[in-house]
Amino acid sequence: MSTLAQVVTDLTAAPRPVLFLDTCTLLDIVRAPLRGLAAEVQACLGLRALAAAGTVQLYVQDIVPGEWTDNLPAARRDGEVGIRAFTATWQIAADLGKPAPPLPVVPPGDLINELEQLSRELLTAADTLEKDYDGMSWAIERVAAKQKPSSAKGTVKDCHILGHALRLSSLLAAAGYPNSRVLLSSNRSDFAGPNADAFHPEIAPDAAVAGLRYAASLEAAVAGLRAIGEIP
């Protein structure tokens, strides 16, 4: 676990794109069969390799590992539902005489275990950020004001994650950091604007000052960094 001051020192010494991962993004890898997220799994494989090579730097906030563990059983159930639905659909097509190659034998548990391991490896590849006073203060103020990413339930978790990402991105901007900083979350309803490709208007002003961008998926983040030449 690293303090924001330590991270700024490390990154300014060796600049590279910075990605902040939230819990939904990590668990979407496990849910991929149900949600049709094959491209997300492909992006995860590529991002894992880029992180191992030091081409990108991944971060998660201190609450994310615990949230990942708490929500993993539900994500696994979702993924297994997707696998069984695919198998049933394939069998129905065969029964109706539709031409198809033989159904691959992939027991749901085996595939879900592989997806869980991939998600776990991406989480492990990310450095965990310690709590920061300014990041926490921003989060609490957002909840009190009922502003995004605070939900109608008043939860502080998304605000906690975003507040720290904004704080670190601001510190890097002040240091003249040359590379992108991107927050990844598939929770569009709380983070995103109407087009789902940018922060919600209530978040956008703070994000612009900090130089923090939004991506709704691993696929979008990787494509965006590749388009501007920051990753191969």
Break the chain into its structural domains and give their ranges: 4-227
Q: What per-residue confidence (pLDDT) applies to 106?
A: 60
Q: Residue 180: phi, psi to the nearest 5? A: -65, 150
Q: What per-residue confidence (pLDDT) applies to 154?
A: 53
Q: What per-residue confidence (pLDDT) applies to 153?
A: 59
For residue 90, give both structure tokens.
Answer: 């394939």
7 alpha-carbon distance from chain centroid: 19
Report the run of H or E that residue 208 belongs to, with start and end.
helix 204-210
Q: What per-residue confidence (pLDDT) applies to 155?
A: 72
Q: What per-residue confidence (pLDDT) applies to 84?
A: 83
Using DSSP's 3-state secondary structure scheme, residue 213 falls into strand
The residue with tokens 């880029």 is: 50
Give one word for 175, left, alpha or beta, with left for phi > 0 and alpha for psi -120 to 50. Answer: alpha
pLDDT tens sequence for the chain (232 residues) = 999 999 999 999 999 999 999 999 999 999 999 998 999 999 999 999 999 999 999 999 999 999 999 999 999 999 999 888 877 777 777 778 877 666 666 665 688 999 999 999 999 999 999 999 999 999 999 999 889 998 765 578 999 999 999 999 999 999 999 999 999 999 998 999 777 789 999 999 999 999 999 999 999 999 999 999 999 9
The residue with tokens 């979702």 is: 78
Q: What per-residue confidence (pLDDT) applies to 103?
A: 64
Q: How far apart are CA 16 and CA 13, in angstroms?
A: 10
For every residue of 150-198, DSSP letters joined together read S-TT---HHHHHHHHHHHHHHHHHHTT--S-EEEE-S-HHHHB-TTSSS
Using DSSP's 3-state secondary structure scheme, residue 137 falls into helix
Q: Looking at residue 149, what DSSP letter applies?
A: T
In what order do the strands lie in the sheet containing 212-215?
A: 127-129, 57-61, 18-21, 181-184, 212-215
Q: What per-residue confidence (pLDDT) applies to 71?
A: 97
Does the pTM exceed 0.85? yes
